[in-house]
Structure 1
């Protein structure tokens, strides 16, 4: 009986670690070779920017988007704002749609409202950009051209940046985002599936965008929108030469945002991961199967934490029973995943996460324990805005 318990710990843990390692190794190389061609944006591209109380930074966002995509229309949806976000966006040169509906709060509702405004003169493509993000020059053209050509959604790489030297915990967070939103995203595509949607830097051709189920207050609307598309047989493409970035939030301000996303991911994974994987296998759909398997990999810090507890439990069982197979399997899986992550750090992360900060990873994991405990005690199910760097509490 005690040996069965050890295997029940080892098998799911090893699956998650092995799948993480495979995604990471497969994502170390770019998906497409860089070229010297400058993409030309189609004549009608709209950048849709949902914004809630973003008066401090929205003008800068609009200016940067205008410089990165000068031919695109920029529509800012000032959603339930109590400040002068709308006026600041107008003065910066954006079109603005103001929405007041306190009973229906959330990014999904703002996007649906913005779509209604765009429908009066539909563009060829829509690119969603969060109010604290900026697009790298040429990225809008790449996303729009590919979305129009394929009829599928296209996701840009989405990374965090820091002005000046980042604190060790912020540096670890920035690297974790790079692994999730670039390296593992490439690996997911190479395994035969589509990418996940990241909420910003998402490009859609208008015919697809017009029928998306946007009007929702879901805390992880991007995750569930991607799964909805997968069930419709629509794969999300990854354009890893396109880049959208945002400034890393201060550590003391980011816990609520982390809680929202990670709690939402865990809820979705618990209800959708296994069914999606089994459905993908039953229907021979690599997209569904790989997305289901991806959902069964917990957030990185949580996976490491659970793995360490699992190894300790399997070691204790091994001492009592003399049965060491589960511990050997779990240790091998953890070593494989750890090697893949170190390879990603060596190739992409050394500038983001210096070696001295890499040693602080255990502190980062400890910092996130309250987030995971909160999943059971104060599950974050609603949209929340993260305080931006430089803002007062």
Structure 2
């Protein structure tokens, strides 16, 4: 009995760690945001836009980015395995374009690597900024993250805000708030605690030299979470990413249920697959170098997506209750129950802070469906994990390719 009690207590305590980390991030994110001075030096830069079949959006993206460029800057669109007029449309809009055709090596990481190598062969600028083809980054925000990256010689991630589509359902509004908490609330709280952040894949700046270091991070990979992986690799190489809450890159959540499921599956399977190989490496790096920033990144990586974390905590409570019912000790149930209560409290605080104007009390009725969808994604990770990159369907398109 005692051995099982200790094992279940250890499991409950392990489950409480990500809840405590999340609570610290959410509490630190609650105060209003304040503007900070802009770093003094503006580096030369290239904006790299990976685009796969984005003919309908790329002209608007190029036009918006052009407004933030200065003489000597470059705007490069990588038309990656496109079957439409993305390349021609981007050229007509005034972008430099390079095309890539490789059906065996699919994924955004390969497109970024192709663009980086093209820039390296024709005049690499000091700073590389990555913006997805379906995103908007204001000129002032482009300038801010480039300056901050140069000032700290480190990657810098803008706040990635995903807005709900017009006439969004309750489940989409809930998903929007969960995404805002993940992409803005938690990084902002971590930033105020002095922690690094992850890379969100769009709206980030990185000194070009960091991508060409011997034994440094490689862009060329087909991982589902190539953005998160890049940030972790840069951190292990001694350059943890910084968060810039004063700059925002914006996009819109996919409206279709199938498109949303594709996006969620890619994000969550990608995240989960990185926890085991990278959490330990970051912890060892923190001990070896005496760098608490790596330990903070390891803890942040272990915080599961919100609904997934809630399901895990509820499972631990059920396990503790079952053990108590069989005559075991009360400690596992007490620890897991306290952890779940803290999580519910924190989620309520996050919804109030980051869901203002998005959520109403009636939206709570959509929670069971959201939980069921996330449970299905988790089951797929266990039994039939997604490993290949799949593009998210845009509004008005057919199935993702």
TM-score (norm 1): 0.92
Query: Whole-Å Cα distance in 2 between the matches of residues 213 and 299 of structure 1?
Result: 26
Q: Is 1:41–1:140's contact at 8 Å kept on the other side of the alignment?
A: no
What is the deviation of 1:5? 4.3
Cα distance between partner residues in 2 of 1:38 and 1:3: 54
The correspondence for 1:23, drawn from 13, 21, 25, is 25
| Correspondence for 1:268 | 274
What secondary structure does 1:138 align onto?
A: helix
Alpha-carbon separation, structure 2, partners of 1:334 and 1:45: 46
1:321 lines up with 2:327 in the alignment: yes
Shift of 1:253: 1.1
Matched position secondary structure for 1:109 = helix
Q: CA deviation at 1:41?
A: 8.8
Q: Which moved more, 1:382-391 or 1:249-258?
A: 249-258
Identify the residue that residue 50 of structure 1 maps to in structure 2. Answer: 50
Q: Which residue in 1 is equivalent to 2:246?
A: 241
Are residue 133 (structure 1) and residue 135 (structure 2) matched?
A: yes
Contact 1:182 1:240 in 2 (8 A): yes
- Contact 1:153–1:236 (8 Å) recurs in 2: yes
Contact 1:41 1:141 in 2 (8 A): no
- Unaligned 5+ segments in structure 1 are none
Number of aligned residues: 391
How far has the Cα of 1:362 moved from its partner?
Answer: 2.7
| Distance (whole Å) between structure 1 residues aligned to residue 18 and residue 313 of structure 2 | 10
Change (3 A) 1:208 1:274: closer
Superposition pairs of residues 1-393 of structure 1, within 5 angstroms: 1=1, 2-29=4-31, 33-34=34-35, 42=42, 44-67=44-67, 73-119=74-120, 120-211=122-213, 212-250=217-255, 251-281=257-287, 283-321=289-327, 323-393=329-399
List alignment gaps of at least 5 residues for structure 2.
Answer: none
Q: CA 1:368/1:204 → structure 2, altered by over 3 Å: closer, same or farther?
A: same
Q: Secondary structure at the match of 1:360?
A: helix
State the alpha-carbon separation in 1 of the partners of residues 39 and 357 from structure 2.
28
CA distance in 2: counterparts of 1:70 and 1:356, whole angstroms: 48
Conserved in 2, the CA contact under 8 Å of 1:263 and 1:380?
yes
Please give the alpha-carbon distance, in whole angstroms, between the structure 1 residues aligned to 2:370 and 2:68: 34
> Distance between the aligned counterparts of 1:56 and 1:91, measured in 2?
13
Deviation of the 1:137 alpha carbon:
4.0
- Give, in whole Å, the separation in 1 of the partners of 2:166 and 2:360: 13
Partners of 1:183 and 1:392 in 2: CA distance? 33
Q: Would the alpha carbon gap of residues 333 and 145 (structure 1) be closer, same or farther in structure 2, given more than 3 Å must change?
A: same
Write out the 4+ residue segments of structure 1 that deviate beyond 6 Å after TM superposition.
Answer: 37-41
